[in-house]
Amino acid sequence: MRGLRDKVAIVAGAAPGNIGGATAIRLAQEGMKVVAADLNAAAAQVVVDEIKSTGGYAVARGFDITDESAYKDLIGFAARDLRGLDALFNVAADLSSGTIGRDTDVRSVPLDVWERTIDVTLTGYMYGIRHALPLLIARGGGSIVNTMSSEVWMGEGQRVAYQTAKSGLIGLNRHTATVGGKHGVRSNIVAPGVTLTAAAKRILTEEYLDQMLASVRSPRLGVPEDIAAMVAFLFSDDGAYVNGQTILVDGGANLT
C-alpha cells in the first residue's frame, strides 16, 4: 500500500494470534517500523521475533494501557528512539475470564468489571490519543485507528460493560477526527465481527461460532488478518480521504 514504508506505527495490544499481533506483522510487511506493545511484554516479543525472522523492523515494549504515564512513555519511546510517530492502532482489551467472563447484563454486572472494562477499552485508548495527537500534528499528519466491535449494533443481552466501552469510542473517534483533521491527522474505527483470534477460540463455544457463521453473509468467519488489512489501508495514503468513520469488517453481518 502506498506511503507506509519507513513510517513508524505503535500497535497497542500486540499479542500473537490476535488482531494486534496480526496487524503488527502486516504493517511490518508493508515496510513500517513497528512498536509492538502489550501488557505482556513477552507476548509482544513473540510478535517481534516473527517480524524480524522475515526481515521486518519491530521492537517490543511492555506497558499497561490503564496507566497514562506508561502510555506517555511508550509514545515518547517511539518519538525518541524511532525519531517520530506516524500511526497509532489501539486494540487492547481485557478478554480474561475474570473480566469479560463476568461481564453480564446491566442488572448484575459487577462494578469492578464495569470499571476495568472502561479503563482498558475507553480511557486507555484516550490516553494514547491524548499523547499521540500532538506528535502527529507536529509531524504534519498521521493516522489513528481504534478497535470497536460489531456487538455495538447487535445489542446483545450480555457483556454490557464491553458494549458500552466500545460504543463510547464513536464519540472519542469523531472528536479526534475533528481536532486532527485540518492538521492532516485522520482518526477512524475498525469494528470487527466475530473473529477467530486466539482469545476468541478460548472463550467461544463451537455452538456460538456455528450460530455466528449462519448470521454472516460470507462463507467463513473472520480472521485477524482481515482486520490487519483494513488497518494497513487506513494508515496508508490509499486511505487518505477517510476520516471520522466506523468501518465494519464483519463479513456482512451488519448492513448499516
- Give catalytic status of residue 162 as yes or no: yes
Residue with cell 456487538: 151
For 69-108, b/e burial (b = at least 16 CB within 10 A) is ebbbebbebbbeebeebbbbbbbbbbbeeebbebbeeeee
Residue 244 corresponds to which cell in the numbers above?
Answer: 471520522
Q: For residue 247, list its beta bridge partners.
A: 190
Q: Which of 71, 125, 127, 162 is catalytic?
A: 162
If 0-12 CB within 10 Å is exposed, 13-18 middle and 19+ buried, where does residue 55 land? exposed
Angle at 47 between CA 113 and CA 193, to 5 degrees: 50
- Give the residue numbers marked as catalytic: 162
